[in-house]
Amino acid sequence: MHRVKSFAFVVIALFTLSACSLWSRVETPLAKSPDNSFTVPLPIGWVRADFVKDRIVVTRDGPSLQLIEAQHLAHDKAFPKTEKTSSASLLPSELAELTLAEIRTAEELNGLEVIENMPATIGGHSGFRLVIKFHNTKGLAYQREIVGFANDNGLFQFVYQAPALHYFVRNKIDFDNVVAGVQFN
């Protein structure tokens, strides 16, 4: 019995140590995208997902409580589930509709509702701001805000997601600061 407890302790300790290496605390505010196409100011004290290699992902209290993502996609890989492409010639409203179609195709979101779909400016670029609300499988309401635009280099998207009650409003300013401070390289 003692061996079983010791083994369980070792497994838990190893899991905890490996989990720690998957996330790193944000201690310097500026972070470059994996492809060096942009730099964003991240909220100090949040943690960054080091295991995600194709985009920036940060959270304060855990991904199910709030999540900010920042990514750059090649035009031909922008909407893989709907097999659509983006381009610099698309209107922001068209990009928003393609983004919404991709979400509907790629994810099973209960009661998906569009709260806002409006123009936005991101780092001097004309883009869109899309806010949706949905419920997870346990009935918890979430809100997601997607801000994006396309230029000759591809599609840029910045996403914030949190439970609609309490967390979305609480950390929205952090997302707004990320989007307001983005610099394109």
- Report how far residue 124's alpha carbon sits from residue 121's, in angstroms, rounded to the nearest whole number: 6
Best CA proximity match to 24, nearest among 46, 47, 54 = 47
Q: Is the pLDDT of residue 168 over 60?
A: yes
Q: Is the pLDDT of residue 30 over 70?
A: yes
Residue 20: band (very low, low, confident or very high) from pLDDT cuts 50, 70, 90: low
Residue 7: band (very low, low, confident or very high) from pLDDT cuts 50, 70, 90: very low
Q: What is the mean pLDDT of the chain?
A: 90
Best CA proximity match to 145, nearest among 31, 66, 50 = 66
Task: Return the minimum-mean-pLDDT range out of 5-14, 20-29, 72-81, 159-168.
Answer: 5-14
Q: What is the pLDDT of residue 108?
A: 84
Q: Is the pLDDT of residue 11 over 80?
A: no
What one-character DSSP code corresponds to residue 159? Answer: E
Q: Each residue of 93-144: pLDDT tens digit? A: 999 999 999 999 998 889 999 999 999 999 999 999 999 999 998 999 999 9
Residue bearing the bigger pLDDT, 182 or 14: 182
Hey, what's the torsion of the CAs at 72, 75, 79, 85, to 10 degrees? 160
Average pLDDT over residues 60-73: 96
Residue 148: band (very low, low, confident or very high) from pLDDT cuts 50, 70, 90: very high
Q: What is the pLDDT of residue 15?
A: 45
Average pLDDT over residues 151-174: 96
Q: What is the pLDDT of residue 64?
A: 94
Q: What is the pLDDT of residue 89?
A: 97
Q: What is the pLDDT of residue 10?
A: 37
Residues 176 and 170: beta-carbon distance below 8 Å: no
